[in-house]
Amino acid sequence: MLKTSGADKEGAAERRAISADLIAVLVAAPNGNPVVLTVKEGTTLPSGPFALGHRSLQSGLRDWVEQQTGHPLGYIEQLYTFADRDRSIEEATRRVISISYLGLTREEPSHRTPPDSWRNWYEFFPWEDHRTGAPALIDDIIVPRLRQWADAAEQQDKRQNRLRRAASVFGFDDRHWNEELVLQRYELLFEAGLVEEAVRIKGGTAVPGRTMTGDHRRILATGIGRLRTKIKYRPVVFELMPPAFTLLQLQRAVEALAGVTVHKQNFRRLIEQQDLVEETGEMSADTGGRPAKLFRFRHAVLDERLVAGTK
Amino acid sequence: MLKTSGADKEGAAERRAISADLIAVLVAAPNGNPVVLTVKEGTTLPSGPFALGHRSLQSGLRDWVEQQTGHPLGYIEQLYTFADRDRSIEEATRRVISISYLGLTREEPSHRTPPDSWRNWYEFFPWEDHRTGAPALIDDIIVPRLRQWADAAEQQDKRQNRLRRAASVFGFDDRHWNEELVLQRYELLFEAGLVEEAVRIKGGTAVPGRTMTGDHRRILATGIGRLRTKIKYRPVVFELMPPAFTLLQLQRAVEALAGVTVHKQNFRRLIEQQDLVEETGEMSADTGGRPAKLFRFRHAVLDERLVAGTK
DNA sequence: CCCAATTATACTCATTGCGAGCATAATAGG
DNA sequence: CCTATTATGCTCGCAATGAGTATAATTGGG
């Protein structure tokens, strides 16, 4: 399988059968709405074959996105490379390697893209939005069905195990909700046969939540989870913000991504004591209450030190 | 470059030119020695073509490693996928995608592998071992040469920028050392022309530190950095430990990976309050001082909750 | 013009986590 | 018996953090 060196002959036939795709999870957050770019009526993440023309994966992705959306891509990060044989049916003889990326863009979804191609990502993961408390669907549907699934195991210890895992990722039986475990929750639901993608294979009925082609929803879950982790220790939210913003707008963006609310005063304390922003001098009028100062991101912090994030 | 769908015809010719490799960063820590598996006299990481026969990348890697070393692979994590055109010379017409993995193994490097194929990883990164204080080579060689490099920039602000970056990743000018920035330090040295791999291209002379083939040292840096981050929030060190160990042995393993020492009492407090281990009932005789209790990892914690690591 | 609703912003307080140190216990080896 | 070495228990103080109180400045509706 693995040899100690790269160049050998017998691998040549196999190599021909390999092709590579890029898959992008492109995120924006116009007025506190967490959205992701999709194609084909929200069923598919934008992707395509990886060609030779580009210097690197990142530059290829960046060029393509900027051309498609007309907006600069602020931040790019590689997510994961998938190459499992069961990714799709045609791969019995041919292997597709999919390299997925997370990209953040500052701008409002615009004219260049069809209006419905940016989707609120909670359509795909309705159980992930806890900004107004835990969604009813968790207690009403998900937890009971996970309990059923746990009970269905043969051995005692396996039942316990399933229940513990379920409780720990979904935060019931007084564990608390950890918003970063997006992928773990999706995988648990998949394993329990509660998402459409699993139903296709094993049968049964899924819990609510829009499905996607192939394993795209899993890739999206990976991206959201990664982003939720990242905002806590790197100032990446600013890649989603307009040049000037109020602190509440910034907070709303963080909350949109994290899917939980934060304490307003403490949020501001954190942002300010880290010197992440500076006042523009202007005020925002349309806050609906007392006018708020406008701030901009201090780009200098990126050089000064390896800074913490927003949480 | 990217299309909205995977299956199109014009990409076919290009696809044929793509091949995929796996590259492994395999780590062990026999008696507090951080070692990595290498081939070709320590110049190369084990790697080989990625074949179609396996269900997934991970299972392929696992099978291969267990067969080669005769020891089970405790933990596997994908590191990064490289596909930049300038990775090597032959790739003008053919693109090699390299998928790199980090793997941890519990056992002592053994009979199955030649004795020198496990190398202390600080041979490759002598500036990374701060267990007995900052290595002299940092103040004596690296810092002066980085200052030279910073001074060599044309514009004032670029000089400042370089100096700030250098100070921040290498922890001089009273910033403190952040052991996680392994990759950032390597990349800075590369950019400054101070590692052999850069010297090959730009000329000049490198600072001490064993070099590797192609970009293997960069991949190793990625792996070490990732592992240093990971041990802080996931209990992965235990994958490197024998079934029973003293708390000091555990601490030495953590220190070996992190490259810094930790406060003994606080370390124990942390381990115990997290319920990561349980007493075996046995005592270790050969500690050289007061006998120490032997502990084992509580595997149950992996199900119970998403636990923190050792720091 | 006043009042309710909404948002901004300044402080305070208690708890926790964590770095750092002191003190004591138990062994080996000379 | 003394010293070196390791194990282990405990305390102190600071910094970060979660949560609440109080006050200021708007808008919009009666």
Structure tokens at A10: 């017998």
Structure tokens at B1: 């470059």
Cβ of B290 < 7 Å from strand D? yes
To test the contact with chain B by mutation, choose from A47, A52, A73, A162 the residue with the greatest count of B C-beta atoms within 10 A, namely A52
Q: Which residues, 6+ apart, have CB-to-CB distance to B38 below 8 Å?
A: B44, B45, B46, B117, B118, B119, B212
Q: Which nucleotide is nearest to A273 (CA to C1')?
A: D16
Question: How does pLDDT run across A5-28, given as a tens digit for each residue?
Answer: 433 434 444 444 677 888 999 999
Beta-bridge mates of residue A224:
none
Give the predicted TM-score (pTM) of the model. 0.90
Distance (Å, whole) CA B82 – CA B98: 5
- What secondary structure, in 3-state letters, does chain B show? CCCCCCCCCCCHHHHHCEEEEEEEEEEECHHHCCEEECECCCCECCEEECCCCCCCHHHHHHHHHHHHHCCCEEEEEEEEEECCHHHCHHHHCCEEEEEEEEEEECCCCCCCCCHHHEEEHHHCCHHHCCECECCHHHHHHHHHHHHHHHHCCCCHHHHHHHHHHHHHHHCCCCCCCCCCCHHHHHHHHHHCCCCHHHHHHHCCCCCCCCCCCCCHHHHHHHHHHHHHHHHHHCCCHHHHCCCCECHHHHHHHHHHHHCCCCCHHHHHHHHHHCCCEEEEEEEECCCCCCCEEEEEECCCHHHHCCCCCCC
**Cβ burial, residue A285 (10 Å; 0-12/13-18/19+):** exposed
Separation in Å, CA A232 to CA A135, A271, A310: 23, 12, 5
Distance (Å, whole) CA A170 – CA A287: 35
Question: How does pLDDT run across B85-111, given as a tens digit for each residue?
Answer: 555 555 456 678 889 999 999 866 566
pLDDT higher at B248 or A65: B248
Residue B306: how many CB atoms within 10 A of its CB? 17
Q: What is the mean pLDDT of residues B239-254?
A: 94
Cβ of A291 < 7 Å from strand D? yes
Query: In chain B, what residues touch A301 (CB-CB under 8 Å)?
Result: none
Q: Do B99 and A97 touch (CB under 8 A)?
A: yes
pLDDT at A20: 82
Q: What is the mean pLDDT of residues A211-221?
A: 95
Which amino acid belongs to residue B199? V
Query: In chain B, what residues touch A54 (CB-CB under 8 Å)?
Result: 1, 85
- Phi, psi at residue B291, to the nearest 5°? -65, 145
Considering chain B, what is the average pLDDT of its residues?
85
Distance (Å, whole) CA A194 – CA A186: 9
pLDDT range class, residue A94, cuts 50, 70, 90: low
Q: Do B47 and A16 touch (CB under 8 A)?
A: no
Q: Do A15 and B55 touch (CB under 8 A)?
A: no
Q: What is the mean pLDDT of residues B154-170?
A: 92
Q: Which residues, 6+ apart, have CB-to-CB distance to A130 below 8 Å?
A: A177, A179, A259, A260
Lowest pLDDT segment from A62-76, A172-186, B105-119: B105-119
Which amino acid belongs to residue A188? L
> Nucleotides on strand D with an atom closer than 7 A to protein CB?
4-11, 17-21, 24-27
Q: What is the mean pLDDT of residues A143-165?
A: 94
Distance (Å, whole) CA A141 – CA A143: 6
Separation in Å, CA A89 to CA A85, A96, A267, B184, B246: 9, 11, 48, 41, 50
Q: Count Cα atoms within 13 angstroms, Cβ side, for A165.
A: 19
Distance (Å, whole) CA B229 – CA A229: 13
Q: Do A178 and B306 touch (CB under 8 A)?
A: yes
Residue B144: how many CB atoms within 10 A of its CB? 11
Q: Report the percent of chain A where pLDDT is more than 90.
A: 58
b/e burial code for range B101-116 (CB count within 10 A of at least 16 → b) = bbbbbbeebeeebeee
Query: Residues whose CB falls within 7 A of nucleic chain C?
Result: A 246-248, 264-265, 268-269, 287-293; B 263, 265-266, 270, 285, 288-291
pLDDT range class, residue A61, cuts 50, 70, 90: confident
Nearest partner of B150 among B142, B162, B167, B141, judged by Cα? B162
Distance (Å, whole) CA B81 – CA B104: 19
CB of B36 closer than 8 Å to CB of B27: yes
pLDDT range class, residue A66, cuts 50, 70, 90: confident
Counting one residue from chain A and one from chain B, the pairs whose CB atoms sit within 8 A come to 177
β-strand pairing of B18-28 with B35-37? antiparallel
Distance (Å, whole) CA B143 – CA B187: 15
Q: Do B2 and A56 touch (CB under 8 A)?
A: no
Q: Do A47 and B5 touch (CB under 8 A)?
A: yes
pLDDT higher at B296 or B60: B296
Q: Which nucleotide is nearest to B265 (CA to C1')?
A: D8
Q: Do A49 and B21 touch (CB under 8 A)?
A: no
Distance (Å, whole) CA A51 – CA A21: 9
| Identity of the highest mean pLDDT range in A168-172, B116-120, B138-142 | B138-142
- Phi, psi at residue A280, to the nearest 5°? -85, -20
B152 interfaces chain A, CB cutoff of 8 Å: no
pLDDT higher at A9 or B209: B209
Lowest pLDDT segment from B113-127, B251-265, B278-292: B278-292
Among all protein residues, pick the one whose CA is nearest to the C1' atom of C17: B270
Cβ of A305 < 7 Å from strand D? no
Query: In chain A, what residues touch B55 (CB-CB under 8 Å)?
Result: 84-86
